[in-house]
Amino acid sequence: MLLSKEQTDLMTWLEKQLEPVAMAAMQHAEAPGYSMDRVNKMYKDGLLESTYVFYTGESVPGYRVSDKGRASLREYNRSNQQHLFNEVRAWITLAIAVGSLVTAIISLLR
């Protein structure tokens, strides 16, 4: 499952919370990537799970990252690390090629 930056930001934030978080608490805390629609969609997609928590004296749904969400977040992070590795490798290859070209040109000019 492809995750957006907002989804990963929100799930990373939720992972740091000690217990499930109510939507109103997410909004109040200005959780990164939070929107009511996003939370509902992520819950529907199985990335978040819900249990009841007490917030401002009421029993309301609280959300935390599900096992599927954790797996998706790990895959997203692994994919980003692989992408970064490939970028660095491409720049190193380019630097070697440019270095070789400069060396060849200098040797031709002598």
| Domain encompassing residue 67 | 5-109
**Can you give the pLDDT at residue 92?**
87
**Can you give the pLDDT at residue 5?**
92
CB 62 within 8 A of CB 22: yes
**Can you give the pLDDT at residue 38?**
97
Task: Quote the CA–CA distance of 38 and 12 in Å, as a whole number.
Answer: 14
Per-residue pLDDT for the chain (110 aa), expressed as one digit of tens each?
A: 688 999 999 999 999 999 999 999 999 999 999 999 999 999 999 999 999 999 999 999 999 999 999 999 988 888 776 676 677 788 888 888 998 888 888 888 88
Which CATH number characterizes residue 27's domain? 1.10.10.10
Buried/exposed 71-102: b ≥16 CB within 10 Å, e otherwise? ebbeebeeeeeeeeeeeeeeeeeeeeeeeeee
